[in-house]
Amino acid sequence: MKTEVPHEAFELAVTIEPADIDRQNHVNNTVYVRWIQEVATAHWEARAPADARDAIGWVVLRHEIDYKSPARLGDELLVRTWVGKATRATFERFVEIRRLTSDPRSPTSVLLAQARTLWVPINPDTGRPTRVPPEVRARFSI
């Protein structure tokens, strides 16, 4: 699931809470799904026109997540998302979750997880699938 991050990527800093940690002393996989949803929602809210935010809701059709390394309490994370292919009926969204290193001499990040999610636009009033206008697709897709 390797893909290049476009310059239009949207980022959120994440703080790991004690409730995110499971019995194996790392972040539970369900928390990664929550972060994927949160960054997608924040991206949409930040970049979509107000009329589109009111007219279009989103549901997930498919999640694919590759876990590379565990996240632990105290880690500083960056969650980055961008839209790949956007059609009238689906948005392909990519997410990377990275641990930031604290070495000021060599600021880098370690990939913890990457995801590809397929989202379907819906009419929020009816819950039925709807279409995304071309100008909204153009604002998000690569």
pLDDT of residue 101: 80
pLDDT of residue 108: 76
DSSP state of 106: S
Tally of residues, the chain: 142
What is 10-140's CATH superfamily?
Hotdog Thioesterase (3.10.129.10)
pLDDT of residue 49: 94
pTM equals 0.89
pLDDT of residue 65: 98
Please list the pLDDT of the chain residue by residue as tens digits (142 residues): 656 666 579 999 999 999 999 999 999 999 999 999 999 999 999 999 999 999 999 999 999 999 999 999 999 999 999 999 999 899 999 999 999 987 666 667 899 999 999 999 999 999 999 999 999 988 888 6
**Cα–Cα distance between 106 and 47 in angstroms, integer?**
32
**Cα–Cα distance between 120 and 77 in angstroms, integer?**
27
CB 70 within 8 A of CB 112: yes
